[in-house]
């Protein structure tokens, strides 16, 4: 037998065996640990704005969770600048949204009170009475949707916009306001203001109607 036949079998490559597999990454979304998954999937989530560049990620060998932009996945966001500070995102549109229900309630109450006064005068003078109408319901809906769309466009330009905020900004104002506050890491004052404004507007209108 030759010397090669007596040679011991090669030792296994322990370094390769300890390398992370393709489904190696975990990430945090909505306070929940997700994974394992691939770097490609995380890049897809980034592109869809379902996670942000500061989302916490981890894989075997890392001592602790890290923001995505500071991890080995930093190259996924290297071509995209981070979102600007929320302090520089204007809140003009969103506060107008928050106070809009109160404004609508006051307008409807003024119209209703005017109708009641006109009805009394017409009956006293014996003239027919034709009540004036308040705001058509389409008007506040359009104004609300336009303000939401403008504010979400501002968020997108600042690096915070997503498909969810785009839909809720136009169709579900209170949901949008809470999502916006969470995304910008702000206290949801304007979301609470919208709820108070809605209740106050309804009470003002009801007090005149009653």
The helix or strand, by DSSP H or E, that contains position 17, with its residue range, turns out to be: helix 14-17
Spatial distance between the Cα atoms of 196 and 46, rounded to a whole number of angstroms: 35
Domain boundaries along the sequence of the chain: 14-76, 86-209
pLDDT one-digit tens code per residue, 43-79: 888 888 788 888 899 999 899 999 888 888 888 876 6
Burial of 200 (0-12, 13-18, 19+ CB in 10 A): middle
pLDDT one-digit tens code per residue, 132-147: 555 677 888 899 999 9
pLDDT of residue 135: 67
Cis omega (within 30 of 0) on the bond before 36?
Answer: yes
Residues paired with 34 in a beta bridge: 27
- Using an 8 Å Cβ cutoff, are 72 and 38 in contact? no
Average pLDDT, the chain: 80
Spatial distance between the Cα atoms of 147 and 137, rounded to a whole number of angstroms: 16
- CATH classification of 14-76 is 3.30.1490, yes or no? yes
How many Cα atoms are found within 13 Å in the side-chain-facing hemisphere of 126? 0
Query: Terminus-to-terminus CA distance in the chain, angstroms?
Result: 110
Closest CA to 69 of 84, 85, 80: 80
pLDDT one-digit tens code per residue, 110-125: 877 776 655 555 555 5
Q: Among 10-14, 147-151, 205-209, which is the least confidently predicted range?
A: 10-14
């Amino acid at each position: 037998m030759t010397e090669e036949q007596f040679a011991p079998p090669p030792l296994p490559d322990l370094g390769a065996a300890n390398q992370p597999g393709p489904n190696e990454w975990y990430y945090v979304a909505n306070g929940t640990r997700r994974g394992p998954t691939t770097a490609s999937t995380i890049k897809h989530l980034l592109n869809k704005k379902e996670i942000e560049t500061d989302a916490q990620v981890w894989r075997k060998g890392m001592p602790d969770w890290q923001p995505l932009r500071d991890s080995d996945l930093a190259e996924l966001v290297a071509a995209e600048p981070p979102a600007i500070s929320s302090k520089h995102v204007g809140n003009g549109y969103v506060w107008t949204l928050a106070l809009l229900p109160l404004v609508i309630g006051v307008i409807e109450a003024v119209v209703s009170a005017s109708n009641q006064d006109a009805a009394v005068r017409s009956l006293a003078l014996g003239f027919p009475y034709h009540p004036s109408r308040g705001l058509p319901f389409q008007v506040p809906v359009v104004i609300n949707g336009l303000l939401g769309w403008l504010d979400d466009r501002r968020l997108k330009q600042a690096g915070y916009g997503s498909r969810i905020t785009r839909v809720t900004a136009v169709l579900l104002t209170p949901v949008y306001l809470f999502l916006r506050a969470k995304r910008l890491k702000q206290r949801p004052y304007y979301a609470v203001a919208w709820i108070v404004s809605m209740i106050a507007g309804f009470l003002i209108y009801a007090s005149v109607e009653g």
